[in-house]
Amino acid sequence: MNFIFRGNELLLREEGIGFPDADDCAFMGLAADALAPVWLTPGCADHCTHVAPDAEAPAGFVFHKLRAVLADLGEHGALASRAFQVSEWVRTHRYCGVCATPMRKSEKELCFHCPACGFSAYPRVSPAMMVLIKRGEEILLARHATYATARYTALAGFVEAGENIEEAIHREVLEEVGLHVKDLRYFGSQSWPFPHSLMIAYTAEYAGGELRVQEDEIADARWLGPGDSLPDIPMVESIAGRLVRANLPPSLAARLSA
Ligand SMILES: [Zn+2]
In a domain, 42, yes or no: yes
Q: Is residue 176 part of a domain?
A: yes
pLDDT in tens, 174-205: 999 999 999 999 999 999 888 899 999 999 99
Indicate whether 60 and 179 sit together in one domain: no
Report if residue 107 sits inside a domain.
Answer: no
Query: Cα(119) to centroid of ligand 1, in Å?
Result: 5
Distance of CA 25 to the CA centre of its chain: 26
Closest C-alpha to 152, from 229, 81, 66, 250? 229
- CA–CA separation, 180 vs 92, rounded Å? 39
80 shares its domain with 141: no
pTM > 0.95: yes or no:
no
Using DSSP's 3-state secondary structure scheme, residue 175 falls into helix
Do 130 and 84 fall within a single domain?
A: no
CB-proximal residues (5 Å) to ion ligand 1: 96, 98-99, 101, 114, 116-117, 119
Same domain, 57 and 146: no
Residue 118 lies in a domain: no
Chunked mean pLDDT (size 10), the chain, 258 residues:
94 90 87 85 87 92 91 87 94 96 92 97 95 97 82 95 97 97 97 91 98 92 93 90 94 78
**Domain edge (last residue) among 92, 112, 144:** 92
Four-CA torsion 3, 8, 11, 13, nearest 10 degrees:
120
Q: Look at strands 47-50 and 2-6 and give their pairing.
A: parallel
DSSP state of 217: T
* 248 and 146 within one domain: yes
**Domain CATH number, residue 181:** 3.90.79.10
Which contacts qualify for 157-161: CB closer than 8 Å, 24 or more apart?
157/128, 157/129, 158/126, 158/127, 158/128, 158/129, 158/197, 159/126, 159/127, 159/128, 159/129
CA of 102 to the centre of ligand 1 (A): 8
- Answer with the one of 92, 117, 141 that is the final residue of a domain: 92
Task: Classify residue 96 as left (phi > 0), alpha (psi -120 to 50) or beta.
Answer: beta
Q: How much distance in Å is there from the Cα of 103 to the middle of ligand 1?
A: 8
Domain that holds residue 178: 126-257
d(CA 227, CA 220): 19
Counting the structural domains of the chain, the total is 2
Dist CA 125 CA 192 (whole Å): 10
> Is 165 a member of any domain?
yes
pLDDT digits (tens, 9 = 90+) for 23-67: 888 888 888 888 888 887 878 889 999 999 999 999 999 999 998
| 140 and 252 within one domain | yes
- pLDDT at residue 15 in the model: 87
d(CA 225, CA 21): 50
Decide which of 42, 66, 92 is a domain's last residue.
92
